[in-house]
Structure 1
């Protein structure tokens, strides 16, 4: 602290204000002002001091930097002396001026792997500041001579908000994106943001990327191949990749050996870590594959997503040791299996999705690999079909019952007209005792309201549909429809043989007398 600030006499103390803020970006304008609130209206001469300086930095009341640079950052204080030299002020409190390089940071929500129709949002932010900025988004391309070109997405992408949303992604949205922010007058721009690769595939991509050896992690100084396989035609496809070092590029002699729709990397390095996929001239893409090149220990895992119900097998491999390492396996950072040569998960479900890795106490730990689980097409298909089957079954059973009831009524009416009451009684008496008991029990249940049409429907609905269709309704199933009257109703039925069927039918459908 300077000697002027060590005096103990009573004197006013200056305050320092900074506009527009204590944290500014390189290239902007910033002003520091020293104010002394003294009782008497005297004029002051000002002096500014900067940390680690040996003398007066400035003698103005306002200290302005335009444009400000990183060298202007630091701690500042001021003090004043009356113009006649009779009094001095205290030194002000130190204020810190921070100057940084504005950098735009681009992120993607919810993810960079998209299927046609998915929504996606590009989020652009500026480090250390979120106000006063307008944003622009660009697609990035690399020419054959490795020059980068930026194309503005649209005029509507400019705005005060830091989000750019595509409500329904299409294949044409596949590409590399960057953003930039600007503010102030004259306009000051941030640097171009980091890149974000977004790729969009169809619901059922026409081609698949095949990796050999079939795993997502590979050792350094080895070779592996990639090929585009189509069920009908494997020509016209190109292997492409995106890496942190080389960004977006096709398979070429620079990093691989292209052969038709295939590509071979002869000697891998960590720079080969990235996203690989197949792309056609028309812009169709395969599902992407994350490939990691790592020295030491790697995790052997499937290249493509695992289907629900399948078995997932993971192994921990070392570049110079065989057989598989006995290691600990982790999911999302939590230990799930220890000291085993492989981890097997049978009947995989969506809950098994996550980041997996393995760790050997001496050989080290593998990078994390995302294991994706997709729904079973067979299961989802059957789920969609079940309501249809249930509806068809219920409708079929209903019409079978209607047909049988009408047929039974027709036969009963016909029999009532052609036979006398005495012959009907004689036929009824010739029935077996067990059948009569069964009919009486069924009749009583109908009268008491415990048996209804839907009881028969439910019972039939629980059967296998194919069995019902082949065998058809049996007379045993509907034997209770032809009910035998009780002793108390014989007289009534003999007098109204034709009307008995009407009574029986009303009870069968649950009506009351």
Structure 2
């Protein structure tokens, strides 16, 4: 474990760390971390670190074992895996006397796995939440094990474990936030000591209006229901307008229902009330159904089998033609 220290040099630059193509990834996607020293692009040797939470919940920096792979300023992962989920920083040095930069900004990466070993269960079951309410986050696997810790990353507090935190209390694999605040907005996930993780979930805490949307990806073919809620009314459901990205898709209704979800519905959604205001945007993820994947495979196999006899006949005719030409030439 390595703790990075900054040296007191007045003109020392701070690298800028960015990610391409995006910080939210699906397992198997390629991703590149880009470390740049503005105004001075040559002669630098780069180091790459992940941010970890220490026993007092302060942030420490651990050098990546293959840090030298990003020596040119680009650290590339050709196929992202769930264990690449985390928070990264970079630094650079150059010259005979080893001139160091400051640590870069923190850059999180979130990787959604195909079949994670554990699920993060949120109650109430939605991604947006009101302030000053209780929020429960539980890690559930098939063996009902207690080996999972709820972890989060927020812009306000950085990387934290519920087990060691001042913001929540963990019993077994369940973390409870007694009174939510906007500073609790961030990405939450379950993690074991060996590095196994759940799907990361982006949770927002917002004053006033929120949109009720599912925590986990919706499967193609299933239905999707969105509602607009207001914390200071009973019942909390509002008659509001619903938007997909920036386009109005349904007006003055208590809920928006998509009866059959497809990949085209994977977008940002939010709701807006003329007097109460509007919610934050929630991203709806859509995954392919297992049956559709099987149908796709069967369709491909059927197509190949259909074409094969024609290919075989063509090859035989060509062979016979070449043979006849050979006999005629003799």
8 Å contact kept, 1:113–1:200 = yes
Aligned to 2:29: 118
SS in 2 for 1:241: strand
Q: Are residues 1:102 and 2:13 paired?
A: yes
What's the RMSD between the two structures over aligned residues?
2.8
Which of residues 189, 192, 207 in structure 1 aligns to 2:103? 192
Q: SS in structure 1 opposite 2:114?
A: coil
CA distance in 2, matches of 1:108, 1:129: 20
Q: 1:266 — aligned with what?
A: 178
Shift of 1:106: 1.5
Tell whether the 8 Å contact from 1:220 to 1:294 is kept in structure 2 after alignment. Answer: yes
1:375 maps to which of 282, 285, 288 = 288
Q: Is the 8 A contact 1:171 1:283 kept in 2?
A: no
Q: 1:136 aligns with which of 32, 37, 47?
A: 47
Deviations 1:85-132 (A, max 9, x none): xxxxxxxxxxxxxxxx73322222233344544322111233466556
Pick one of 224, 235, 239 that aligns with 1:326: 239
Contact 1:207 1:278 in 2 (8 A): yes
> Map of 1:208-227 to 2, 5 A cutoff?
208-227=119-138
Does the CA contact (< 8 Å) of 2:57 and 2:160 recur in 1?
Answer: no
> Is the aligned partner of 1:310 residue 2:217?
no
Moved more, 170-179 or 290-299: 170-179
- Alpha-carbon distance change, 390 to 105 in structure 1, aligned in 2, over 3 angstroms: closer
Instruction: Give the alignment partner of residue 280 of structure 1, picking from 192, 207, 212.
Output: 192
User: Match of 1:156?
Assistant: 68
More helix by share: 1
SS at structure 2 position matched to 1:379? helix
Deviation, structure 1 residue 301: 0.4
Structure of greater Rg: 1
Task: Decide whether aligned partners of structure 1 residues 284 and 155 sit closer, same or farther in structure 2, where only a CA change above 3 A counts.
Answer: closer
Structure 2 gap segments, 5+ residues each: 1-6, 309-330
Task: List per-residue Cα deviations over 1:245-266 (Å, max 9, x = no partner).
Answer: 2222211351112121111111
Residues 168-207 of structure 1 mapped to structure 2, 5 A cutoff: 168-182=79-93, 187-200=98-111, 202-207=113-118
Pair 1:181–1:390, CA change in 2 (3 A): closer
Q: How many residues align?
A: 298
Cα distance per residue 1:350-405 (max 9 Å; x no partner): 1111111111222112111111111111111122123546778999xxxxxxxxxx
Aligned to 2:207: 295
The structure with more strand, counted as a fraction of residues: 2
Decide whether the 8 Å contact of 2:118 with 2:140 is kept in 1.
yes
Provide the TM-score with structure 2 as the length reference.
Answer: 0.80
In 2, Cα distance between the equivalents of 1:292 and 1:172?
24
Cα displacement string for residues 24-81 of structure 1 (whole angstroms, at most 9, x for unaligned residues): xxx9xxxxxxxxxxxxxxxxxxxxxxxxxxxxxxxxxxxxxxx986xxxxxxxxxxxx
What per-residue deviation string (whole Å, max 9, x for no partner) do you get for residues 118-165 of structure 1? 322111233466556443321222322344432332452453x33110
Q: Deviations over 1:10-31 (max 9, x none)?
A: xxxxxxxxxxxxxxxxx9xxxx
Matched-pair contact (CA < 8 Å) for 1:135–1:157: no
- Aligned-partner Cα distance in 1 for 2:76–2:191: 24
Aligned to 1:243: 154
Distance in 2 of aligned mates of 1:353 and 1:201: 15
Give the direction of change, closer, same or farther, for the CA distance of 1:238–1:123 in structure 2 (3 Å limit): same
Say whether the 8 Å CA contact 1:359–1:365 is kept in structure 2.
yes
Q: Look up the match of 1:354.
A: 267
**Corresponding position: 1:165 with 2:76:** yes
Separation in structure 2 between the aligned mates of residue 373 and residue 210 of structure 1, nearest angstrom: 18
Conserved in 1, the CA contact under 8 Å of 2:263 and 2:286? yes
Cα pair distance change 1:191/1:257, threshold 3 Å: same
Distance 1:358 1:231, change over 3 A: same
Give the 3-state SS of the residue equivalent to 2:183 in structure 1: helix
